[in-house]
Structure formats: C-alpha cells, structure tokens
Chains A and B, each alone.
Chain A
Amino acid sequence: MTVPTTAPLAQPATPLRQSGLSGLPPRPHHAWRTVGIVVALGAFTTLTLMPAIGGIQLDFTALVRNWSNSLPTIRQLLRPDFAFLPRTIAPMAETLEMAVAGAAFAAIVSIPITLWAARPSNPNPFTRQLVRFIININRAVPDLVFAIVLVAMLGVGALPGFVTLFLFDLGVVVKLVSEAIDSSDHDYIEAGRAAGGTQTQINRVTVLPQSWTLYANQWLYSLELNVRISAILGIVGAGGIGRLLDERRGFYAYNDVSIIILEILVAVIVIEFASNALRKKLR
C-alpha cells in the first residue's frame, strides 16, 4: 500500500546559486573577530583561576561541605526575633539621619561644583577638566574604603559615616548632572553673553532654572543610595545599624541578625517607593 505523500513544493526554476550573480558583494567575515573575542575571554578567565598569581581556587567541595554544616545557622536566619526590635531603633535612626544629612549637605555643595564641571556653565577647559578629574578619582574609591580610612582618621562614630556619604553623593550627583547639562541645549547662554553678562550671572539666572529637575532627580537618587550604604557603614565603625549587625553576627545570634536585615530591607524599599513617586512628579 502506497503511503500518500504530499506533492513536493514547486522549486524555483533557476536556483540562485547557479545563476552566477556577478553583482553580489563579498560577505563580511566576522568569524575571525568572534574567535578572537572568545579566545581573549577564555584566556582572561583562565588567568583568574590561577591561584599562583592571585587567582581563585575553584573548590566547590569545600563549599558544599560548609553549606551542609550551616543548616542550623540558616534555620536561625529564617526565624527573625521581633523581641530584639527595640534595641535596633536608635541605631536605625542614626542610619537614617546620616543618610538624610549626607544627602542634604552634598546637595548644597553639588550646585556650584556641578556648574564648574559642565561645559555650558564653565567654558574654561582647565578648571573644568580639573574638577572632572578630581570627581573621577572620588568615584573610583568604593564607599566602604572611604569609611574605613575615615574611621581611622576621625575615630569611630557617625562623623566618618556622614563624611563618607557626603563625598560619595557629591561624586554621583556632580558626574550625572554635569553630563546631563552637557548633553542638552543652551541657546540662551548666547543671549546672556550678548547682553554683557558674566558667566556667574548667566549661570544663576538661566542655567540653574533649566537644570533644577536634573539636580532634584539625582538628589533623590543619592538619598536612596545613602540608605543602602549607611546601613553597612557601621560594620567598619562609621555609625548606624551596621555595627549592631556585625556585633550580633559575632555572637552567632542569627535571629537578631535576621530582624536587623528585615528592617534594612523595609527602609530601603520604603525610600525607593517614595523616591520613585517624587521623581515621577518631577518630570
């Protein structure tokens, strides 16, 4: 019995490949480049896995062993101790106070520094590049590194935490706002110059009003970042709830650790919501 087959689809009369197209441009060859990239990535990864030069030992068996040893810890972490809450209020308040104060002071100082860093408001390339260079160096230092060095300089407490947040926020705001100013149009500056104004006059009366929303956006963002960062500054002694967290961890009191982390989560989420809502209204 013959199996019914569907009729084959009609084939084109002359397959393209055989018709000898002369105008076909050569196909660009990306193959070599792709191979090169893959080889480079592989080599880089191999280098990172060599402990001799500082790479990392891939020892997963130790990892698995540690995991199974820490089931009690995990169980404790999953049972936050709400009775511990009252002891966390004062440090948490300090965390939030540092966040607000740091963001506020950085906001004020960021106004003139941003104007120095942006081309429309600072036509002088030397001072502008100098400010940008210093800000770039500022941004290259991670937040906790600032904190640990400042604690060693200024002692334990909220002061190094406040200064850390201030410096960190300054870096974030100045970079982002000055880039935003650079990438928008500023025709009115020519009018200010034609009327005989100084750069300061032009900046104060025209550039600043045009940039308020840019600033406000980044100030709110820096407040958000601050709450996250100030929660951990205490780990190195710079004030806030981090110190309590580290202390409880040192005593293996993971129930307490758990409640502290929950608190931090709540604070971060609340600030994020508030900040997003405010930023939408700014648009």
Chain B
Amino acid sequence: MSARASVKSRYDGYRVMALPTPPSRTRATLVAVAVGIVVLVATGSLNISWTHLGDVPARVAKYLGLMFSSPNWDKFPRALTETWRSISMAWLGAVGCVFIATPLGMLAARGVGPAWLRFILRRIFAVIRAIPEVILALLLLTVTGLTPLTGALALGIAGIGTQGKWVYETIESAQVGAAEAVLAAGGNTAEVTRWALWPAVAPALMSFALYRFEINIRTSAVLGLVGAGGIGSMLANYTNYRQWDTVGMLLIVVVVITMIFDVISGAIRRRIMAGATTRANISDVD
C-alpha cells in the first residue's frame, strides 16, 4: 500500500478487523481437475493433428469462397422440386407420427391409462427415443428400400418416442380441476378426455405437432444424405462430385427454407398458445 501512504484514507487509524476464514475450494478444484483430465485424454487420443488445427479456418474459407462467390443457380428449379420432396417427407412423417403418438401418449398419461399399459408404453417411447433417428431410418430403409415414402415412415416412427413423451407430460401437467368436475357429474374416462382434457391440452399438443414438423424438416435433409431422396440426396451427390458452386446454391436453399419454416412455425405456435389463453379468458364465467 506504499503508493497510498501519502493519501489519507477514511480508514486510517483503523482497528484490525476479524476476517472470517475463506470457504474451502478443494471439492470444486477436484471436480475441475477431473473434468480437465477427461477432456485432455479425449482430445489427445483423437486422431487429429492439433498442430495443424490452425490451418482449418483458412482451408474452410477457401471452400466457402468456392461455394458462395458465385453460386450456380442453373440447378435451382430442380433444387426446389427436391426441397418439396423433403418437405413432403417431413410433413407426412409428422402427420403419421402425431396420429400415432397422440393417442398412445394419452394412454400413457397418469389418470388416463392403467398402470401396466403406461409402463409398457413409456418404455417403448424411451427405447425409440434413445435410438438416433438416422440409425432408425437406416434400419427401416434397409428393410423397406430407399424411397421418400420410407423416409417419411422413418421420420414418423422415430418421432414417436419424443412426441409421446411430450403428450403425456402435457396431459399430466394440465389442471386436474376440470377432469374432477366431469367425473363428479358422472362422466366416464372417454367423456373426461373429450370435455376436460382435450380443451386444456389441445393448444399445447398442436404446438408440439408443429414443432415436430420443424424438426422433421432438418432430419429429412439428413435422411436424404443417406439416400432417402430429397434435397439431402442432391446435396450429397454434388458434394461427392466436388461441384462447389452447386453445393453453395444448395446450402443457401437449405438454410433459407429452414429459416423460413422456423419463423412461420414459430409465429403460428405463438398464436396458438396466445389464442389458448384468450379463449380461456373469454369462457371464464363470472
């Protein structure tokens, strides 16, 4: 504090204070060291020449230039057709997935289905969820052949796991009051579902269905890469032939279409959820 010796602080002539002991940091340090070791081992064992990692941005930049400095728009009409194929895959897959997963998910919800059925259904959802979609698709495509239809099928089946989980979670977190009212008036399970559960969960379920479509659009491009058709197939072909100007155009198409659908879907989902609250307010009797 020699630099401050000449300046009087308000604390000059101050008595010594009783500083409590700082808390122990050993546990946090041990965890940090453990994580650090795991990361270092993983990184070191990888068959990558880390010293040349610095070259990567330059190489990538070179290819980015090849792709985007003058994208090849000649193939654009075909790209659009293939894009619609991918979107159709995504849409039909989403429709199929929602039609199957929604009733199954409802049955898997506490308060709707019996315990043994709920258990089985939830296990099935969990297993489907654990399998990466692409592998599920590959399995299906191996058996049924590589076509956009089977791609749609694969998307539909792969989505059941997550979609079913969202359905039963939504139902279980909905207000129980309405269901109780229907039961008290003498209704059975079907009537409870129709009059109490459905109005409460319908907006959320529709929102999830639309979100499934959003996810499927991305996955349909991936399925195309492994051969199911659509924009992914076109992309894989032109990348393999190293025709970078076309690849650039295709990437632009993929990004723009995905972003457009994200924005539209997001807006619709927001309107669904907002509409749900206004309708609830209107029907509140006072």
Interface residues of chain A, those whose CB is within 8 Å of chain B, are 28, 44-45, 47-49, 53-59, 62-63, 66-67, 70, 73-74, 77, 93-94, 96-98, 100-101, 104, 136-137, 140-145, 148-150, 152-154, 157-159, 162-163, 228-229, 231-232, 235-236, 239, 245, 249, 254, 261, 264-265, 268-269, 272
Known A97-B45, A101-B46; judge A67-B144 contact (CB<8 A). yes
Known: A148-B236, A268-B132. A104 touches B43 (CB 8 A): yes
Q: Closest CB of chain B to A45's CB: distance in Å?
A: 7
Q: A56-B89, A145-B235, A154-B56 are in contact. Are A268 and B139 (CB under 8 A)?
A: no
Alpha-carbon distance between A28 and B275 when the two chains are bound, in angstroms: 13
CB pairs A–B below 8 angstroms (17 shown): A48-B84, A48-B91, A70-B142, A73-B142, A93-B45, A94-B46, A97-B43, A101-B43, A104-B42, A141-B254, A143-B222, A144-B232, A145-B232, A148-B236, A158-B46, A159-B48, A231-B135
Smallest CB–CB gap between B138 and chain A, Å? 7
Q: Is the CB of B142 within 8 A of A157?
A: no
Q: A97-B43, A142-B222 given. 10 additional CB < 8 A pairs?
A: A45-B92, A56-B85, A63-B144, A100-B42, A140-B262, A145-B222, A148-B225, A153-B59, A232-B132, A239-B47
A94 to chain B, nearest CB (A): 7
For residue B35, which residue of chain A has the nearest CB? A104
Q: A101-B39, A140-B254, A145-B254 are in contact. Are A56 and B149 (CB under 8 A)?
A: yes
Q: Does B246 contact A (CB under 8 A)?
A: no
> Judging by beta carbons under 8 Å apart, are B149 and A63 in contact?
yes
Bound-state Cα–Cα, A144 to B38, Å: 26
Given contacts A157-B48, A158-B47, A265-B131, A48 and B145 within 8 Å (CB-CB):
no
Q: How far is the CA of A229 from the CA of B80 in the complex (A)?
A: 27
Q: Which of B82, B85, B127, B134 has the most CB of A within 10 A?
A: B134
* Interfacial chain B residues near A93, Cβ < 8 Å: 45
Whether the pair B145, A62 counts as a contact (CB closer than 8 A) is: yes
Q: Is the CB of A98 within 8 A of B142?
A: no
Contact A56 B92 (CB under 8 A): yes
Assuming A70-B143, A136-B259, A159-B56, is B88 touching A49 (CB within 8 A)? yes
Q: In the complex the two chains form, what is the Cα distance from A145 to B223 in whole Å?
A: 10
Tell whether B258 is near chain A: CB-to-CB under 8 Å.
yes
Interface residues on B, range: 35 or more
Check A54 against B143 for contact (C-beta < 8 Å): no
Q: Are B143 and A73 in contact (CB under 8 A)?
A: yes
CA distance A201 to B147 in the complex (A): 56
Residues of the A chain whose Cβ atoms lie less than 8 Å from the Cβ of B63: 149, 152-153
Select one of B46, B132, B251 contacting A229, CB under 8 A: B132
Alpha-carbon distance between A36 and B150 when the two chains are bound, in angstroms: 30
Residues of A within 8 A of B127 (CB): 265
B144, A163: Cβ atoms closer than 8 Å = no
Closest 4 CB pairs of A and B: A48-B88, A54-B84, A100-B42, A54-B81
Q: Which applies to chain A's interface (DSSP): helix, strand, loop or mixed?
A: helix
List the B residue with the shortest CB-CB distance to A104: B39
Known: A142-B219, A229-B132. A163 touches B56 (CB 8 A): yes
User: Which of B56, B134, B150, B218 makes the CB contact (< 8 A) with A232?
Assistant: B134
Contact call B56/A45, Cβ cutoff below 8 A: no
Contact B47 A74 (CB under 8 A): no
A57 to B130, CA, bound (A): 30
B196 interface residue, CB < 8 Å from A?
no
B204 located at the interface, meaning its Cβ lies under 8 Å from any Cβ of chain A in the complex: no
B101 within 8 A of A: no
B200 contacts A by Cβ under 8 Å? no
A48 touches B142 (CB 8 A): no
Residues of A within 8 A of B197 (CB): none
When chains A and B are docked, how far (Å) is the Cα of A148 from the Cα of B222?
10
Closest residue on chain A to residue B283 by CB atoms = A28
Assembly CA distance A58 to B150 (angstroms): 10
Interface centre among B38, B87, B143, B232 (most CB of A within 10 A): B143
Contact A236 B142, CB 8 Å, known A54-B84, A56-B88: no
